A = this chain, B = another copy of it.
Amino acid sequence: MADTYIRVSLPAVCFVWQIAMVVLFGVFIRYNEESDAHWPEYKKKQNITSDAENDFYYRYPSFQDVHVMIFVGFGFLMTFLKRYSFGGVGFNFLIAAFGLQWALLMQGWFHSLDYNTGKIYIGIENLINADFCCAGCLIAYGALLGKVSPVQLLVVTLFGITLFAVEEYIILNLLHCRDAGGSMVIHAFGGYYGLAISWVLYRQNLNQSKHLQGSVYHSDVFAMIGTLFLWMFWPSFNSAIANHGDGQHRAAINTYVALASSVLTAVAVSSLSHRTGKLDMVHIQNATLAGGVAMGASAEFMITPYGALIVGFCCGIISTFGFVVVTPFLERKLKLQDTCGIHNLHAVPGMLGGFISAIVAAAATELVSTLGLEGKFANRSPGTQGGYQAAGTCVAIAFGLVGGAIVGFILKIPIWGDPADDNCFDDEVYWEVPEDEETIHPVLEYNNHMTHKQQDM
């Protein structure tokens, strides 16, 4: 049995990193004009007459929806294992709480740094972006669920946020790709990052924990809380940082219909894959979301509502098929253990989303591409933009794979308190688990009974 003593490492990492955050925030982070008490002065100086210029509800409702997806959505989606619900929702909480602080800094340095003052000025939109940034790491956690220690997860987060900020800068600011809902920068990156880590951390004897790698009835219901909050708020996710006005409207509509379409095809394939047509909760919990992932990059495009339906249609099928066929194949042949199946929900649909956006951008008429994206394509033909969208997707995947491999090797150093192969998927390792009367009685009983039986003999 591995040494899962984390009483030194976990508090040390939490304290040291949190103190580092305080210091770095002290040096770098300030309120932006809209959040600063000097706003009335600024307003006068800039000749702003309307209070609507500083309306709190300009993007705040979207922020809260995204926030719910990160903490309740991802958190509860990972409670499906029978004895890893504490770790699923609890470590998700820890990762995101650390990640968003580090993301405010990393994204700040790349996007909001004022070179005159050397400060990062933050407002509500930075909070949304920080939450987005965390999503990448939480996706990666999906592949690692139950097999790593919380200290390892914090390391995954530290590097994940850093890599994210760099690839995001390259894709959005250098390549000028459009990716409002993060098909590439969040899902493809996060998916391949997690898969690469998991591949390096392959556990030969994981089947020793096989009895815990499944759900019980109520843990599946808990996971549906996560699924539904992700599903419902995905239109907000894809529209949160889209261009105000028609761009946001379109992003919400496209995502809404794509997700609806994914549900029907996920149900269809799930039913097809069982002897008598029974549905599998794993598919309903995950593959129904594939349409939202795939719509990310092109949500604000003029993809048309039926285009969005087709995207959802195909991704629901591909994702469910992935759960039925590809994940077992990857585990057997590629030695890739992917607890939540992020390959099917994030990596592949994210990659497809990137390529779909390339096709849609390339197919855009000059007029629409100019208008619809507020002149962002203005210096490029639609075809060129399409090429860049595809290139951006490849950059995201490359960052995920290479970064993940490196982080994986770092995590192999035997100092992080990770569980042994026969100890995975078990909250007992890192949590004080209450004695569960319902489970304990039968076991006691069983033992009594056995004793009794033996006495009889």
Q: Mark A30-41, 1 if CB is under 8 A from B, else 0.
A: 110011111111
CA distance A272 to B5 in the complex (A): 11
Copies of this protein, total? 3
CA distance A98 to B268 in the complex (A): 12
- Give the interface centre of A89, A302, A306, A446 by most chain B CB atoms within 10 Å: A306
Closest to A440 in B: B442
CA distance A233 to B72 in the complex (A): 12
Q: Mark A363-378, 1 if CB is under 8 A from B, else 0.
A: 0000010011100000
Please state if B232 and A64 are interface contacts (CB–CB under 8 Å). yes
Contact of A25 among B232, B305, B371, B453 (CB under 8 A): B305
**Which residues A253-312 have CB closer than 8 A to chain B?**
253, 256-257, 259-261, 263-265, 267-269, 271-272, 274-281, 284, 288, 302, 304-306, 309-310
The segment from A190-198, A240-248, A338-346, A391-399 found at the interface with B is A240-248
Please state if A56 and B249 are interface contacts (CB–CB under 8 Å). yes
Please state if B446 and A37 are interface contacts (CB–CB under 8 Å). no
> A118 near B: Cβ within 8 Å?
no
The segment from A13-21, A165-173, A347-355, A403-411 found at the interface with B is A13-21
CB distance from A3 to the nearest CB of B (A): 9
Closest to A452 in B: B453
> A115 near B: Cβ within 8 Å?
no
The tally of residues in A whose CB lies under 8 Å from a CB in B reads 150
CA distance A118 to B39 in the complex (A): 39
- Give the interface centre of A68, A249, A260, A284 by most chain B CB atoms within 10 Å: A249
Contact of A217 among B123, B247, B306, B433 (CB under 8 A): B433
Please state if B246 and A34 are interface contacts (CB–CB under 8 Å). yes
- Residues of chain A at the chain B interface (Cβ within 8 Å): 4-11, 14-15, 17-19, 21-23, 25-26, 29-31, 34-41, 51-52, 54-58, 60-61, 63-65, 67-68, 71-72, 75-76, 79, 82-83, 85-86, 89-90, 93-94, 97-98, 100-101, 104, 122-124, 127, 150, 214-222, 224-225, 228-229, 231-233, 235-236, 239, 244-250, 252-253, 256-257, 259-261, 263-265, 267-269, 271-272, 274-281, 284, 288, 302, 304-306, 309-310, 313, 368, 371-373, 417, 429-439, 441-443, 445-446, 448-449, 452-453, 456
Nearest 9 CB-CB pairings of A with B:
A37-B372, A7-B277, A97-B263, A14-B268, A35-B249, A25-B306, A441-B442, A26-B306, A39-B246
26 A-B pairs within 8 Å (CB atoms) are namely A14-B264, A18-B261, A21-B309, A25-B306, A37-B368, A39-B246, A55-B245, A56-B239, A57-B58, A60-B61, A64-B232, A64-B233, A64-B235, A72-B225, A82-B434, A82-B437, A85-B221, A90-B284, A100-B256, A101-B309, A216-B438, A217-B433, A221-B222, A277-B417, A441-B446, A449-B452
